[in-house]
Amino acid sequence: MIYVASLLLLIGVYSLTYQWGMAVYEGESRTWYQALEVVVQSMTTAGYGQDAPWETLEMTALILLIQITGIAYIVVAIPQFVVPWLETLVQPTPPEQIDHLSEHVIIVGYTALCDTLVEELETSGTPYVILEGDENRAQELHEDDFQVLYGEPAAEETLEAAFLEDALAVVVDATEREQFRTVLAIEARDPDATVLPLVSDPADARYFRYAGVDEVLSPRHRLGKALGDRVRTVLSTDLTNLERGSAFDVAEFHVDPDADLFGDSLAATRRLEADGATILGAWVRGDFVTSLSDEVAVDENTALLVAGTDAELEAVGDHTSSIGRSYQASGDPVVVLGSELVGTTASGTLERAGLDHSVVNSTGEDAADEETLLEAGLKDANTCVVALEDDTATIVATLTARALNGDLEIIAGARTADTVDALRTAGADYVLALPNVAGRMITLRVFDREVMTLEEPLQLLEVDAPALVGETISTEAIAAETGCTVIALERDTEFHSAVDGVRFDADNQLVLTGTDEQISQFRERYGETSASDSR
């Protein structure tokens, strides 16, 4: 506004001055509009018409001043007005319409909690669309190659454009923005829609239930439970002739982001078995699974549980770009750092499991106080669960806990996935990030996928198999019939991991893993009891 006012004022002054100067110095009279024409021509460098050239120094100086002033105003106008105007012409806008979708997932209120969900959907080939009512945010998501639809999520036209009636589910991330109006609009338009709100505080869940939603998800509550579950045993060993750490071992391997496996499907990790090792299962965003799905991607929260000889485990380490850690069941006593939602949930999980534990009632950096940790029994603890709400405080507490007890197993929760590597460097043995837990939780709910429950740990043992005597071994057939995973053949107290196609003799035993139920099925199918039972 100041620019335009000053420009008009200057043109008026120059026009009057020019009209006066022509009469006084050049001896020629000009009307006001003729003077205005010459001033505008000069300031825009368009020309001077019939008045050029001028005979007097005074008029020449005036014209030069008018020209310089005009150029200056043009230079100022280009970045202030011309460039922004051009940007509005060429800048792309977020789409307000998309091609028809069906069997898709609608995401409302996209935050970092939905990152893993989108990765899971893309890995499985499931279409999705993000509804975003803020134009700048929608444009950012669009430029980042997300499938986004710009429009107010609670508006009828937006829900229609998102093909609500054809969607598998609607994920409503209400952890950062209020989304009650959106949920009410969805319920009013399609009462049969599967709506999954995410809440930061479980206490808010009741309001969504009042709105007609059947299930509300709390990622922070799930993170706390996953941290507590991680302490519980997933593999127990009962061996007679072989000894772990001698003939073979079972180790956990994190998959480094630089590894070739990172980003591949979980099923792709089976190629590690080409070197002779056997994958028993994997920790996937808080869940231990024995079925390696091709619909789940390997990420920074993935840890593989692998059995094999030293050479075979070393090869696995090369492929995962990590150093394997011999598996030991996380034991009590346990020290839990954190007294907010994540910490109290982790503590409750340990309480229900009957594990001895203590809680450091802290909400921040005071959890790293050495005296406090020692009073909580950290020096004699086997496991420490770091369940704080701030990532910086979590890193500091992890560093302190590792310094106070070098043999401690540290299980840490992170609010962002970017903190995972820093926590591992600080000394955490296992890290679980909130966005990964949220994505996993939503995916399991949307697709009704099941995982192995931790109430059924795997058993590692040697078994006789009279029904196999004289037959060639097929690990695939055994797995299909019983669910057990064959690790090796034990012959003359020696460990042989190359099993398939080998003849099974009467004095041989199989080294395998399975749940109690699966082991029972193996015994029914192939006879005899385990070596430990027949002593």
- Return the biggest CA–CA distance within the chain: 129
pLDDT tens for each residue of 23-32: 888 888 888 8
Question: Which residues are bridge partners to 358 per DSSP?
Answer: 335
The CATH code of the domain at 104-217 is: 3.40.50.720
Instruction: Tell me the three state secondary structure of residue 268.
Output: helix
- Per 3-state DSSP, the chain is made up of helix, strand and coil in percentages (nearest 5) of 45, 20, 35
Chain centroid, CA 458 distance in Å: 28
| Structure tokens, 218 | 């709390």
Domain 234-326 and domain 458-527, same fold? Reply is: yes
pLDDT, average across residues 432-438: 89
Q: Is the pLDDT of residue 366 over 80?
A: no
Buried/exposed code over 62-88 (b: 16+ C-beta within 10 A; e: otherwise): bbeebbebbeebeeeeeeeeeeeeeee
Q: Which amino acid is at 282?
A: A
Nearest of 265, 252, 287 to residue 432 by alpha carbon: 287
Instruction: Tell me the three state secondary structure of residue 317.
Output: helix
Question: Which residues are bridge partners to 281 per DSSP?
Answer: 305
| Structure tokens, 268 | 């792709």
Q: Is the pLDDT of residue 70 over 80?
A: yes
CB 438 within 8 A of CB 218: no
> Between β-strands 509-514 and 485-491, what pairing exists: parallel, antiparallel or unpaired?
antiparallel
Polymer length of the chain: 535
CB 277 within 8 A of CB 310: no
CB 42 within 8 A of CB 70: yes
Residue 83: its pLDDT value, please? 75
Residue 190: its pLDDT value, please? 92
Residue 534: its pLDDT value, please? 45
Q: In Å, how far are 274, 475, 498 from 502, measured between CA atoms? A: 16, 10, 8
How far is the C-alpha of 498 from the C-alpha of 475, rounded, in Å?
10
Q: Which CATH superfamily is domain 234-326 in?
A: Regulator of K+ conductance, C-terminal domain (3.30.70.1450)
Yes or no: domain 334-447 corresponds to CATH 3.40.50.720: yes
Q: In Å, how far are 24, 211, 217 from 179, measured between CA atoms? A: 74, 11, 14
| Mean pLDDT estimate for the chain | 87
How far is the C-alpha of 406 from the C-alpha of 61, rounded, in Å?
84
3-state secondary structure 17-53: HHHHHHHHHHCCCCCHHHHHHHHHHHHCCCCCHHHCC
The pLDDT-based confidence of 531 (bands split at 50, 70, 90) is very low
How far is the C-alpha of 133 from the C-alpha of 398, rounded, in Å?
40
Q: Is the pLDDT of residue 330 over 80?
A: no
Residue 525, judged by CB atoms within 10 A of its CB (0-12, 13-18, 19+), counts as middle
The pLDDT-based confidence of 530 (bands split at 50, 70, 90) is very low
| Structure tokens, 140 | 């950012």
pLDDT tens for each residue of 119-149: 888 877 899 999 999 988 998 898 888 999 9
Q: Is the pLDDT of residue 391 over 80?
A: yes
Residue 229: its pLDDT value, please? 87
What is the residue-wise DSSP string for 198-242? E-SSGGGHHHHHHTT-S--B-HHHHHHHHHHHTTS-SEEEE-SS-
In the chain, where are the structural domains located?
1-88, 104-217, 234-326, 334-447, 458-527
Residue 485, Cβ neighbours under 10 Å: how many? 21
> Between β-strands 235-238 and 485-491, what pairing exists: parallel, antiparallel or unpaired?
unpaired
Residue 276, Cβ neighbours under 10 Å: how many? 18
Report the first-to-last Cα separation within the chain, whole angstroms. 96
Instruction: Tell me the three state secondary structure of residue 103.
Output: coil
Q: Is the pLDDT of residue 335 over 90?
A: yes
CB 167 within 8 A of CB 106: yes
CB 80 within 8 A of CB 3: yes
Identify the sign of the CA torsion 433, 435, 436, 441: positive
474: Cα within 13 Å, side-chain hemisphere: 7
Residue 532: its pLDDT value, please? 45
How far is the C-alpha of 256 from the C-alpha of 425, rounded, in Å?
12
Question: Which residues are bridge partners to 244 per DSSP?
Answer: 248
The CATH code of the domain at 1-88 is: 1.10.287.70
Residue 60: its pLDDT value, please? 84
pLDDT tens for each residue of 446-492: 876 655 444 578 899 999 999 999 999 999 999 999 999 999 999 88
pLDDT tens for each residue of 167-213: 999 999 987 777 889 999 999 999 999 999 999 888 889 999 998 88
Nearest of 219, 205, 221, 204 to residue 342 by alpha carbon: 221
CB 420 within 8 A of CB 431: yes
What kind of fold does domain 458-527 have according to CATH?
Answer: Alpha-Beta Plaits (3.30.70)
Nearest of 183, 196, 184, 192 to residue 165 by alpha carbon: 192
